[in-house]
Amino acid sequence: MTDFDAYERDLWAGRAGVYARGFARLTVHTIAPLLDAARVGPGSRVLDLGTGPGFVAAEAVRRGAKVSAVDADPLMADTAARNAPDADVRVAILPALPYEDETFDAVVGNFVINHVGDPEATLAELRRVLRPGGRLALTCWTMPGSGVLAVVRDAMEEVGVAWPDDVPPSPFMTYGRPDAFAALVDGVFREARVEHLDWDFTFEPDEWWENGAMARVGSNAVVLLRQDPPTIARVKEVYDRRLTTYATGDGRVSVPAHALLAHGTR
């Protein structure tokens, strides 16, 4: 494992419940286009990477696919097994997968490639488990982060919270651009393409704060929770002020989200 991989294992340990209540509500928007790009349908043998709460796996099962799913965190895998009981859910840490060569018709990953320390090695492993002609589909956040992905980070920067040296950046700070993401996938898969996925995410600001920033979900939250209470309070004030721009009039806000979808053929 790289230092980033080790950091990620610690970051997500025990976060399954709060992730399902918070951030997973944002990422469900991309499930349909992800599965469409991989051509997941009845009878497809599908591997769902970094399954988290299992929402992608459950939708693939609903489409009639035969689904396997993996996650590095045992609690996440347990949660996925409950939410997608017809899927075969296992614990596995990328880039190593516990499957034979050419096992799957499709491999999908909803915001997981940006959580691995060696994306190139991971893509090579994904190619190994895909049959010839099989389809790959992966989402990642557009970088630099903007919209809903940036509301906490922007508030921290306005307050002057410094980013510590011991919190490693994801390789997708580089690869999270359309051209770089396409080049990465094109180095391993044929017919690689990258599409923009943009939508508006509606949420209650206090609920999002509690289930994200204050629940240690993501690196922004790791850094924020190292601050003293007065600093956290100032970040919350800026966060609330910035979100007034997106108010919907019912106590909620609707903030743009921006992601990329890459797909290709083995």
- Domain range annotation of the chain: 3-143+168-200+256-265
Rounded to 10 degrees, what is the CA torsion of 255, 26, 181, 109? -170
Q: In percent, how much of the chain has pLDDT > 90?
A: 85
Q: In percent, how much of the chain has pLDDT > 70?
A: 100
Quick check: 262 pLDDT over 90?
A: yes
The CATH code of domain 3-143+168-200+256-265 reads 3.40.50.150
Quick check: 254 pLDDT over 90?
A: yes
Between helix 151-159 and helix 229-243 the angle, nearest 10°, is 120
d(CA 228, CA 179): 40
d(CA 58, CA 51): 10
What does the pLDDT read at residue 14? 86
Quick check: 1 pLDDT over 80?
A: no
Q: What is the arithmetic mean of pLDDT over 138-146?
A: 92
8 A C-beta contact, residue 132 and residue 158: no
d(CA 37, CA 53): 21
pLDDT tens digits, one per residue of 73-132: 999 999 999 999 999 999 999 999 999 999 999 999 999 999 999 999 999 999 999 999
d(CA 119, CA 112): 10
d(CA 58, CA 60): 5
